[in-house]
Amino acid sequence: MRALVVEDEAAVAEDIRAALHAAGFVVDIAPDGRDAWFAGDVEDYDIAILDLGLPQLDGLSVLKRWRAADRLFPVIIVSARGDWTERVEGINAGADDYLGKPFEMGELIARVRGLLRRAAGRGSSVLAVGPLRIDSQRMTAELNGVPVRLSPLEFRLLDYLAHSPARAVSAMELADHLYGAADTTDSNAIEALVARLRRKVGAGLITTRRGFGYMLGDSG
Amino acid sequence: MRALVVEDEAAVAEDIRAALHAAGFVVDIAPDGRDAWFAGDVEDYDIAILDLGLPQLDGLSVLKRWRAADRLFPVIIVSARGDWTERVEGINAGADDYLGKPFEMGELIARVRGLLRRAAGRGSSVLAVGPLRIDSQRMTAELNGVPVRLSPLEFRLLDYLAHSPARAVSAMELADHLYGAADTTDSNAIEALVARLRRKVGAGLITTRRGFGYMLGDSG
DNA sequence: GCGCCGCTGACATCCGGCTGACGGCCGACG
DNA sequence: CGTCGGCCGTCAGCCGGATGTCAGCGGCGC
């Protein structure tokens, strides 16, 4: 999962980054509105945390521009001014959630997870695919009720697939969301990762659609 | 689907080519404005990605010449970050979308799909033809609600037919768009492909107009 | 009824994707 | 500080599905 954090105060940005990173996200930070707009327009994020008070370009404007450009990833607005009208404005501009400062990192993570769940069209916080249960909260997985020990990358790959229902996800997209955009590796790292995952969760769970990508389950 | 990438920087061009190819496109690359103008004038593209900073002939001029010659395929302008005036100029010259550098490949693909959808006069990425539903986003097809497993080429052929409403598409045109112009193969590869497709989606869905080509459905 | 275009099933080939092995890197631990 | 073990990217070779080719058949249009 890839997240964009828009926050001008470096210390706060770093706190959020750390929390998200610990929760298994790849994080980009945009320190001002202009960078934020650009990054959100150009990169492929799963979610954005957006501070409203920003230099260069106001947070609400950033959000509106994203939405106008059909950038539909979930956005959580974070703001110091606990203003009620502001909240409404945020929602109207296309925000999916609102969090007043100061806030607990735990709450932020929880809301992020909730939004991702909704975006994936799932109700429960524990995703189930066949005999496999994936708990993104605890970063654990169970096969037939038996805990499976997964490495961080393995888990994130599995988690990303689980959040992309009924869709084949290409190796390129996976690399993008697991590593971030920077490296255009044309290696078989993803294939190797998938192989190791299959060895742990059973070969049948991850289907390869030749020429398209990977998906969980086998229908479709 | 066939795309023209106009980009003088070989590495960038290659990245774009790879991404488009992974998304199921046949890609031609034009390294300068002159080549671009010629290729767009002579070949039959479904979309073009146009860099503005070009040797020989400026990108905007290329676009204007295409439009002046009634070459109406959608064009996405790609340009170094920042300049609003440039963006306006681009739109005025007949561009359909604008993307600042650097950009995320996934973003490019999404916009390309959006434009093609609009070009086909549809709102959704899911096309329905008789009992068949084609989702070009997920690259899946369903027959009466049952997923059909198609190979990459099969899917692209089907997708192309679906985007050519009520029209017979010749084998030559199909070969052109599935493989690229270069090879003037006088083989029956397309026929074989169609045969395999028919076996999977039902013979009635793809009609042959003897001497003209193939079309989806049977009316017209 | 004739001829040609197009269809099919079989076969060859080719390429994407899988695997097992290897080694670098890094953190844990003595 | 050295060693150990786990994680993970890279390599090379293999496998099987995907796709082009061929040859023969069939039916559509004249």
| Domain residue ranges in chain B | 2-119, 126-216
Any strand C atom closer than 7 Å to A210 CB: yes
pLDDT of B47 higher than 80: yes
Nucleotides of C under 7 A from a protein CB: 5-10, 16-21
What is the predicted pLDDT for the residue at B39?
92
User: What would the mean pLDDT of B184-200 be, rounded to a whole number?
Assistant: 88
pLDDT of residue A209: 93
Structure tokens at B182: 């270069």
CA distance A39 to B28: 28
Q: What pLDDT does A70 receive?
A: 76
What is the rounded distance in angstroms from the CA atom of residue B74 to the CA atom of residue B211?
29
Parallel, antiparallel or unpaired: strands A126-129 and A140-143: unpaired
Give the separation between CA A215 and CA A159, rounded to whole angstroms.
Answer: 11
CA distance B218 to B220: 7
How many other C-beta atoms lie within 10 A of the C-beta of residue B34? Answer: 14
CA distance B181 to B169: 16
> Does the C-beta of A186 come within 7 A of strand C?
no
CB contact under 8 A, A168 and B107: no
Q: How many helices (H) and strands (E) does chain B have?
A: 8, 11
Residue B157: pLDDT above 90? Answer: yes
Nucleotide nearest to B198 (CA to C1'): C7
Chain D positions under 7 Å from a protein CB?
6-12, 17-23, 28-29
The amino acid at A80:
A
Per-residue pLDDT reduced to its tens digit, B68-85: 887 888 899 888 755 556
Q: How far is A97 from chain B (nearest CA, A)?
A: 24
Q: Do A168 and B139 touch (CB under 8 A)?
A: yes
The reply to whether A211 has its C-beta less than 7 Å from any atom of strand D is yes
Query: In the predicted model, is pLDDT for residue B67 greater than 60?
Result: yes
Cβ count near A199 (within 10 Å): 10
Q: Which residue has the closest alpha carbon to C6 C1'?
A: B191
Does any CB of chain A come closer than 8 Å to the CB of residue B125? no
Cβ–Cβ of A172/B19 closer than 8 Å? yes
pLDDT of residue A49: 96
Q: Which of A70, A172, A220 sits opposite B140 (nearest CB)?
A: A220
Distance CA A186, CA A182 (A): 12
Q: Which helix (H) or strand (E) holds B110?
A: helix B105-119
Put simply, the answer to whether A211 touches B152 (Cβ < 8 Å) is yes
Strand partners, B48: B4, B75
Task: List CB contacts of B217: < 8 A, sequence separation 6 or more.
Answer: B129, B130, B166, B205, B207
How far apart are alpha carbons B50 and B59 in whole angstroms? Answer: 7
What is the identity of the amino acid at B105? M
Lowest average pLDDT, out of A119-128, B92-101, B106-115, B151-160, goes to A119-128
The pLDDT, as a whole number, for residue B81 is 52
Q: Tell me: pLDDT of B207 over 80.
A: yes
In this structure, chain A runs to a length of: 220
Residue A211 to residue B102, Cβ atoms within 8 A: no
Contacts of B39 (CB under 8 A, 6+ apart): B4, B28, B30, B45
Say how far apart CA B143 and CA A3 lie, in whole Å.
37
How many angstroms is C1' of C13 away from CA of B180? Answer: 21
Closest CA–CA distance from residue A30 to any residue of chain B (Å): 15
Cβ of A187 near strand C (distance < 7 A): no
A151 CA – C29 C1', rounded, Å: 21
Residues from chain A that touch B152, judged by Cβ atoms under 8 A, are 210-212
User: Which of A42, A168, A209 lies at the smallest CB-CB distance from B107?
Assistant: A42
Rounded to 5°, the CA angle A208-B116-A46 comes to: 55
* Alpha-carbon dihedral angle through residues A186, B125, A67, A180, given to the nearest 10 degrees: -10
Is the CB of residue B186 inside 7 Å of nucleic acid strand C?
Answer: no
Confidence of residue B190 (pLDDT cuts 50, 70, 90): very high
Task: Please tell me the predicted confidence (pLDDT) of residue A219.
Answer: 62
CA–C1' gap, A149 and C14, in angstroms = 38
Q: Do domains B2-119 and B126-216 have the same CATH topology?
A: no
Q: Considering CB atoms only, which of A44, A184, A212 is closest to B15?
A: A184
Q: Please confirm whether the linkage preceding A102 is cis (ω < 30° from 0).
A: yes
From CA B145, how far away is CA A165, in angstroms rounded?
A: 16
CA–CA distance, A212 with B87 (Å, rounded to integer):
34
Give the nucleotide with minimal C1' distance to the Cα of A212: C16
Span CA (B23) to C1' (C26), Å: 37
Judged by CB atoms closer than 8 Å, whether chains meet at B19 and A220 is answered as no
Please identify every stretch of chain A with a pLDDT value under 50, giving residue numbers as ranges. Answer: none
pLDDT at position A25 is 94
Tell me if residue B149 falls in helix, strand or coil: coil
A42/B102 CB distance under 8 A: yes
Supply the DSSP symbol for B187. S
Distance in angstroms: CA A172, C1' D11: 20
How is residue A203 written in tokens?
């070969």
CATH number 1.10.490.10 given to B126-216: no
Q: Which pLDDT band holds residue B185 (cuts at 50, 70, 90)?
A: low
Q: Which CATH superfamily is domain B2-119 in?
A: Response regulator (3.40.50.2300)
